[in-house]
A and B are shown apart, each in its own frame.
Chain A
C-alpha cells in the first residue's frame, strides 16, 4: 500500500445557493481543488462524488458521470458514493484506497448537496430516510428527534447540562463569523438565547432538550480534494522531480483512517449513549497513523447537534466520558485550548450539506495543516488533525488522521 497525500483542496461558500444547481456546486468545488494543485484536467484518473440526496431532492442519478462530463475529465473513472451524512468521508476513503492500491495516481474527491430547494420539512424527511425503514421511519422519527432522545440520555448518565451545550453553540457560531465559507456568519449572545425571557422565542425547543441553536442548519454546498501518492506529492512540491502537477503547497498525508458501523437503531444498542462506531473508527485511525489523541492539534467533529461535539470529543479520546461538556465550558476546545475543535464553525455554523460535510471537514483540516488560515482560526504550528464524519445516528462513522508533511 502506498502512502497517500492530499495535494489540492477547495470549497465553495455554504449557504442557500438558489442560483446554482447541484452540478454547478460540484463543478465549482472541483475546479477550486484542481486549481489549488495546478493539475491538468487530463491527469485525473478517477472521480468520486459524495452525495446523499440527489436522487430524492433533484431527481438525479449517476451524478459522478455527469460531473466528469461537465468538467471534461473523460475518460476518468467516476462513481457516486452514498453513505448518508458520512458520504463525504466514504468518498475520501474510496479515493484513498484506490490510490494506495497503486491502481490510480490522481483522484478527485468531491462532495456536495443541494438541500435548500425544498422546505425544511422535506429536507428533514429526506435525511430521515437513513433511519430504520420498519422500526423507526414509519413512526415519524427524525434525526433531530433522535438527537433529542440521545441528549436526554447523555444528560442523565453523564450530567451534561444545557450550559455545556450552549458553550458549543456559542463557540461554533463565533467561529462561523470568521469563516467566509460558513453558512451562518452570526455570533450568538448568551443572554439572547439562554438567560433572558426572550430566549424562549429566540431559541425555542426543537427536540427537547435540544433548542434551535443546538442544531445545524440545512445547507447547500460542496467541497473537494485531490489526492495522489505521497511520493508524487513530494515530487510536485518544489518541482524536484518530474511530476504532472505544479503544486508548491505543503502536502498533507492521510496518515490513518478508520471506519466502523453499529446497529441501525439506537434501542438495539447495549448502551445507546455509547457511540461505539466513533470509538472504533477513531482508534483504527490513530493506530494506522501511529498517533494518539493527545498528538492531535486540531479536530473537525460532526456536530450536527451540539451534543455530538461533546460526545464525540469523549469517544475519540480527547476527554473522559462526562468531561467533554465541562471541557467546552472551560474553553479547552477553543482556539488556544487543549484541543481546538471545529474552528471552521463545524456543521453548526459552516453548515451541513450532507454529502459535502465529510469532504469539507478534510478540507478545513488541510488548510489548518498547511497553516493557510487567518490567525483568528489557525492553530499555530498545527501538525496533526482529526476528522470524524458521523453517519446515521452513529451507525456508520469514519475518522481520518491527517498529518502535515514536512519537506
Chain B
C-alpha cells in the first residue's frame, strides 16, 4: 500500500541534527582489522539478516537483545524513532557486530543495544566504546543513559568504565539507568576506546562494497557453539 505522505509527516518524528560518525579501524587480538562505520538507513535490511538468527539463541540473553535490536532497527528504517543511529563492525566485509542508540535530547544520549556476532575478540567492547565516543565526541552530549540486559554487559559497561548509578528510568525499561558522563568517558578513554582514522582506502572500499554476513548456522555456532568464544 502506498504511503500516505501527509500522514507520514505527522507520524515521523522530527530528527535532531546529527554529526556523522567518522569511520575508524581497529586491529583485533587475532590481527584482523575491524572497520567501524555508521550504518545508513538503507543498510538495515542487510543488518537484520545477521540479527535474525540471534533471535533464537537464549545464551547470554542474545534472544532478548537481538529481538529488541531488530525492532529498533526496523523502527528506524521505517521512520518511527527519533534521532536513532546505528554503528556496525565489519571484518573482511563481514558484519561482526552492531550497536545502536539515539539522542534523547541534545544533551542526553540513550544507549540501546550492543550485539557481538563474533565473540572472544572484545568486539562488543570496541563497538560499545565507539557508541560512547559518538555520543561524547561527535554529538557532544553531556551524558548517556545505559542499562545492561546481560551479566556480560553489566561487567563491560557498568564495572569497566565504571558508570554512575542514577534513579532515572531508561527507555528500555528494567532497572534504573546507569550514566556515562563526559568526565567518566574521558577518564576511561585511554584504556577502553581504540582505533585509528582515517581508514585505509582499501579497507573502507571493502566495507562499503557489501555488508557480508555469515550463514545462520555459522552465526549460531559463533555465538552459542560449544566453544562459547
Which A residues lie at the B interface, using CB under 8 A?
13, 15-18, 116, 119-120, 183-189, 191-193, 196-198, 200-204, 213
Contacts and interface: CB of A to CB of B under 8 A. Distances in A.
Given A119-B151, A188-B29, A198 B195 contact: yes
B34 to A, nearest CB: 9
Nearest to A18: B59
B31 A191 contact: yes
B26 A198 contact: yes
Contacts of B73: none
Most buried by A among B29, B192, B227: B29
Contacts of A203: 29
A16 B222 CA distance: 12
A197 B25 CA distance: 12
Given A13-B226, A18-B59, A201 B120 contact: no
Contact of B191 (A13, A192, A204): A204
A326 B109 CA distance: 50
B185 to A, nearest CB: 14
B27 interface: yes
A321 to B, nearest CB: 31
5 contacts: A15-B228, A16-B226, A191-B27, A203-B29, A213-B29
A189 B30 contact: yes
B126 interface: yes
A196 B59 contact: no
Interface of chain B, main secondary structure: loop
A213 B155 CA distance: 18
A189 B27 contact: yes
A201 B191 CA distance: 6
B126 A201 contact: yes
Nearest to A198: B194
A189 B194 CA distance: 17
Contact of A201 (B30, B193, B227, B228): B193
B129 interface: yes
B191 A184 contact: no
Given A116-B228, A183-B227, A184-B120, A197 B31 contact: no
Contacts of A192: 27-32
Given A200-B194, A201-B193, A202-B122, A16 B228 contact: yes
Given A116-B228, A183-B227, A186-B229, 4 more contacts: A17-B226, A186-B121, A193-B29, A200-B194
B120 A186 contact: yes
Contacts of B227: 13, 15-16, 183-185
B14 to A, nearest CB: 37
A202 B126 CA distance: 9
A307 to B, nearest CB: 20
B125 A201 contact: yes
B193 A184 contact: no
Interface in B166-187: none
A375 B151 CA distance: 41
B190 interface: yes
A200 B121 CA distance: 13
A45 to B, nearest CB: 33
A202 B228 contact: no
Which 6 A-B pairs give the minimum distances between C-beta atoms? A189-B31, A16-B228, A198-B194, A202-B29, A201-B194, A15-B227
Given A197-B194, A201-B122, A201-B193, A184 B29 contact: no
Nearest to A213: B29
A18 to B, nearest CB: 6
B111 to A, nearest CB: 18
Nearest to B159: A121
A201 B195 CA distance: 10
Contacts of B26: 198, 201
Nearest to A13: B226
Contact of B30 (A119, A183, A188): A188
Contacts of B193: 201
A185 B30 CA distance: 11
A183 B229 CA distance: 8
Nearest to A196: B27
A200 to B, nearest CB: 6
A183 B192 CA distance: 26
A203 B126 CA distance: 12
Nearest to B192: A201
Contacts of A17: 226
